[in-house]
Each structure stands twice: as C-alpha cells, then as structure tokens.
C-alpha cells in the first residue's frame, strides 16, 4: 500500500438489522458503474463542522475549528469532485456540523450542509459523527434527512465491498469522576456528548460480523471514531484523554476485522489529524478535518483523500484545499 502526501495545498445491496438499502442518489443512473471491473477511485473527506453563526467570543474550541470556512471549503471540494476527479464514489466520515446544544439550530444546520452535499454528482454517502448526534440525539432523525433506512450498511461497487459503520446514542452513560476531572475547559454536557455517541450497537456489531463473513470481495471500512490504538501524543483534542478519540467498543470490531482476509483498509476521522497506523497486519487511516486550524495559523487544513483501487492494491493521495483568507 502506498500513501502519497502532496503539497499543502448504491449501490447498496446488503441489508442489516433494519433493511439497510440507502436510496440511489438522484444523479446516479441505476446500473451505471456496475460492470465487473477492478479499478475504482473514491474521494474521502471529513469533519466539516458547519456552523451558521460563529459567536463573537471565540473559545478554545472554535480557535481550532475554522467553521467560517466550511461553506467555501465544501463548495470548492464539490467542484473538484464533479469537474476534476470525477470519482466512482465519494464518502464523508462524519461531523457535518459543529453542534451548539440547540436542537433547532443544529437540525437546520445539518439539513443545510446535507442539501449542499447533494450537489455531488457521484454516488455520495456519509457516516454519522458524534457532533451530528450529540444534541439531536436521534439517529433516525438524521437518517430521515439523509434518506437512509439505516446509517450502517454495505454495498458492492466495481468489484469491491464497502462498509459504512455509524455509531448510535447510548442512554444513561456513566463516566468516572477521574475522567471528568481531566477536562478543565470542557463542560460535563460536552463530555457526556462524546461518550454517549461513541459506540456501535450490539445489533450492528452482529450484522457487521455476518456481512464480512458473507463477503468475498476486497473490502474497505469507513467509520467516524478511531479504531487503531494510539496514545495521541501531541493531539490538540485528545492527548489529555485518548479514549474519547477512539471508538468505545473498538476491540470487538477489530477482533472481527483482523480475522478477515478481505479487509484492505479501515478509514476513520474524528481526531482532526491525518496519519496511518497498522495493527494486526491491517492498515488504519485517520483523516483530518476540512476546517481544522492545524498549524495555528488561521488557515484551514482542507485535507481530503484521493483513493485509487486496482486489483487489491490501494494508493492514497493526500490533498489540501487552498482557501484565500
């Protein structure tokens, strides 16, 4: 596998617990791109953190999340997808919005950015992230906007198998005081928001195992929270408590993955940096945030992946959108 860093600068056919067959995008003709090919291009991006009204007082969170650039970054990326890359498929790894603990505002923001992303002319899907779920607290509500019967599903395309894994809300989550005391600048509401959206449900874990067992094609997996173990030293967000940068029940997911010979790579986001990890012989790619102030220079990272697949090989090119301040 090759990862190249450049200058900074439905197909769904496999159903899970609730009949997981997301609709065919309106700009995708049924039957298109379904030939038995082995070459495929996809574009991955994540953590848009769209926010309609940026507050006058910028705290430590919005100092790093340059939400004011979300609109132009997404517009620019959509233009590149539609007119330059023209991939077979595009996937967002979650956190479409920067939630404000205001249900109506967050719901409207999610609808806004989702409708914008519908301008992508390739088949497009998204994982649900913790900021998408935290205030809205209903995956069904988000699935209704996305027109998904379920936000965890799989599909086959061009001789490859794709699995989208979304977390769900856990009610009555308990957090030890020793964890809460680590976060001096974060409210308990925010911390609970992370933990309650951090796990994949037992039903979907069962479905995931069954889906992989049935699959015979080279497979890629997409989720929001990190899976590979990492102490995240130097990470702005999670160095203080690496556990909240990772999927809560990741061990059972990784036990399933490591036993499967067809899994080529796993892609996640959430941590707002970009890196590659290897665990049990499997490659785990972490994709940064479009709007992260990664170098503390007021310039959004604008990072996204161009992934090229051919005959069980994968090439990943890291690109960065350049936005004039």
Structural tokens at position 109: 């923001």
User: Which of 12-21, 249-258, 284-293 is predicted least confidently?
Assistant: 12-21
Structural tokens at position 312: 């069980």
Q: Write down all domains in the chain, each with its CATH number in brackets.
A: 2-24+37-320 (3.60.21.10)
Please compute the mean of the pLDDT values over residues 4-12 and round it to a whole number. 35
The more confidently predicted of residues 179 and 300 is 300
The more confidently predicted of residues 195 and 273 is 273
List, as one string, the DSSP characters of 132-161.
HHTTT--HHHHHHHHT-S-SSEEEEETTEE
Q: What is the pLDDT of residue 34?
A: 40
Q: What is the pLDDT of residue 111?
A: 98
The more confidently predicted of residues 311 and 31 is 311
| Interval 61-120: pLDDT, tens | 999 999 999 999 999 999 999 999 999 999 999 999 999 999 999 999 999 999 999 999
Q: What is the pLDDT of residue 100?
A: 93
Residue 291 three-state SS: coil
pTM, full prediction: 0.88
């Amino acid at each position: 596998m090759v990862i190249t860093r450049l200058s900074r600068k439905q197909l769904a056919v496999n159903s899970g617990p609730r009949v997981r067959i997301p609709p065919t995008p309106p700009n995708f003709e049924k039957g298109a791109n379904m030939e038995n090919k082995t070459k495929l291009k996809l574009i991955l991006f994540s953590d848009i953190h769209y926010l309609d009204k940026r507050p006058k007082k910028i705290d430590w969170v919005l100092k790093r999340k340059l939400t004011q650039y979300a609109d132009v970054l997404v517009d620019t990326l959509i233009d590149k997808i539609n007119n330059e890359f023209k991939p077979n498929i595009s996937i967002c790894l979650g956190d479409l919005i920067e939630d404000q603990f205001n249900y109506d505002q967050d719901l409207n923001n999610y609808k806004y950015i989702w409708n914008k992303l519908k301008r992508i002319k390739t088949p497009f899907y998204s994982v649900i992230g913790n900021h998408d779920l935290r205030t809205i607290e209903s995956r069904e509500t988000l699935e209704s906007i996305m027109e998904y019967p379920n936000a965890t599903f799989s599909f086959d395309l061009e001789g490859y198998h794709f699995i989208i894994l979304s977390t769900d809300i856990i009610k009555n989550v308990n957090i030890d005081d020793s964890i809460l005391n680590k976060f001096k600048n974060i409210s308990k509401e925010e911390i609970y928001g992370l933990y309650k959206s951090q796990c994949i449900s037992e039903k979907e874990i069962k479905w995931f195992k069954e889906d992989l067992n049935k699959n015979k094609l080279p497979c890629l997996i997409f989720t929001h929270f990190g899976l590979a173990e990492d102490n995240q030293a130097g990470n702005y967000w999670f160095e203080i408590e690496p556990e909240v940068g990772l999927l809560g029940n990741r061990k059972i997911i990784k036990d399933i993955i490591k036993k499967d010979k067809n899994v080529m790579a796993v892609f996640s986001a959430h941590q707002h940096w970009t890196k590659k990890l290897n665990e049990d012989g499997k490659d785990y790619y972490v994709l940064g945030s479009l709007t992260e102030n990664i170098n503390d220079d007021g310039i959004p990272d604008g990072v996204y992946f161009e992934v090229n697949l051919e005959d069980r090989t994968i090439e990943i090119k890291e690109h960065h959108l350049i936005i004039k301040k």
